[in-house]
Amino acid sequence: MRTNKLAYYLLSLFVIAATLLSACGGGTAPEAPAATDAPAAATEAPAAATEAPAADPMAELVAAAQAEGMLTTIALPHDWCNYGGMIEGFKAKYGIEVNELDPGAGSGEELEAIRANKDNPGPQAPDVIDVGLAFGPTAKEEGLIQPYKVATWDDIPDAAKDADGYWYGDYYGVLSFEVNTAVVANPPAEYADLLKPEYNGQIALSGDPLTSNAAALSVWAAGLSTGATGEEAAQAGLEFFKQLNEAGNFVPIDGDSRTVGIGETPIMIDWNYNSIANDIALAGNPDLVTNTPTKGSIAGMYVQAISAYAPHPNAAKLWMEYLYSDEGQLIWASAFCYPIRYNAMLAAGTVPSEISEQLPSTEGAYFPTIDEINAAKAVITAGWPTVVGVEVKPLP
């Protein structure tokens, strides 16, 4: 089932390749600089004895990154795709301090952090970002990110990366319902179920639709589940959450695994990989169930990029090399996230069977294009304050 899903996914990616490339085009922006290529393995014959030995580009990058001594990340919760393990692995391998900013921030807030710290080389300026698919081209067009191509660049499907190396896909999953079964006797299976009176005061989003990629896509998915399409589905999603709020079922806070676990928001719409990982982390106290709706099922890919104003540019490049190495990709996969190099690694036999067998199915999920996401987001961010009329507040 996963093999069929991957074939479908790659086909979907190639179908939208033209859209991705046009979305990332120059427009009126100045001509983009060429991407910095990743350090390549030496392929030439050994130099003559009288010649100096060739430099090792990767060793030079490591040395430059270690001289900077720090990497500043943002919006990387430790329980999201095992970013806790990723950060600890990077620190242990290279001895570089990781300064973690606002783990609960949304994609929009990540871009705002770059904007607000353009002239600030201090600890509040992020070096790297991990944002929803549509935010990559936006950041490029605004000049917020810089190009860099990792050593494993060719393993990333062309339609899942900016041709100039400004951003590239990292992992993907499907929106699902994360449900605390100790509180909810009959877990919802479809978006329409969420309107039932039995779920009064129980449902949350994993973020604010005005700034969070996952939350905005959740609103759109609810609209798609009604049979509407495109921008009409985005409007239908707003009307759905208006009903949910008026019925008293919607809890307007930025939910997370803690609020689900303690029963404050026992039903949360989130990525399936987060829900499964949270269930394992809670170890039965309480039990969580992950239900993926058949109507309005949306898959989503996140992308990586380096800030154009990164105070630690070499550490940022080394971080990217680590993320896109086999080691980094398997850390994501170990947390139920499909890494973007999964297909190439599977073909190369570098994915352990115990990891490939645990990845959740994404069969039947719809992979929207960047243009579709942007159009839906525009409707949702403009309409949420007036149609739904409630502020989603961050957790204290």
Note the pLDDT of residue 32. Answer: 41
Contact between 304 and 146 under an 8 Å Cβ cutoff? The reply is: no
Note the pLDDT of residue 269. Answer: 98
pTM: 0.84
Note the pLDDT of residue 51. Answer: 57
Q: Which domains does the chain have, with CATH numbers?
A: 2-28+57-172+300-356 (3.40.190.10), 175-297+370-388 (3.40.190.10)
Amino acid in position 230: G
Digits of tens for pLDDT over the chain (396 positions)?
343 333 333 333 333 333 333 333 333 333 444 576 666 543 344 444 455 556 788 999 999 999 999 999 999 999 999 999 999 999 999 999 999 999 999 999 999 999 999 998 899 999 999 999 999 999 999 999 999 999 999 999 998 999 999 999 999 999 999 999 999 999 999 999 999 999 999 999 999 999 999 999 999 999 999 999 999 999 999 999 999 999 999 999 999 999 999 999 999 999 999 999 999 999 999 999 999 999 999 999 999 999 999 999 999 999 999 999 999 999 999 999 999 999 999 999 999 999 999 999 988 999 999 999 999 999 999 999 999 999 999 987
Note the pLDDT of residue 54. Answer: 61
**CA-wise closest residue to 206 among 134, 121, 124, 105:** 105
Work out the burial of residue 195: count CB atoms within 10 Å of its CB; fewer than 13 is exposed, 13-18 middle, 19 or more buried: middle
Region of 50 (left: φ > 0; alpha: ψ -120 to 50; beta: rest) is: alpha
- Between CA 65 and CA 59 the distance in angstroms is 10
Note the pLDDT of residue 16. Answer: 32
Contact between 304 and 320 under an 8 Å Cβ cutoff? The reply is: yes
Q: Which residues contact 19 (CB under 8 A, 6 or more apart)?
A: 369, 370, 371
Contact between 186 and 198 under an 8 Å Cβ cutoff? The reply is: yes
What are the distances in angstroms from CA 134 to CA 160, 304, 321, 341?
11, 12, 23, 20
H or E element, residue 178:
strand 168-180
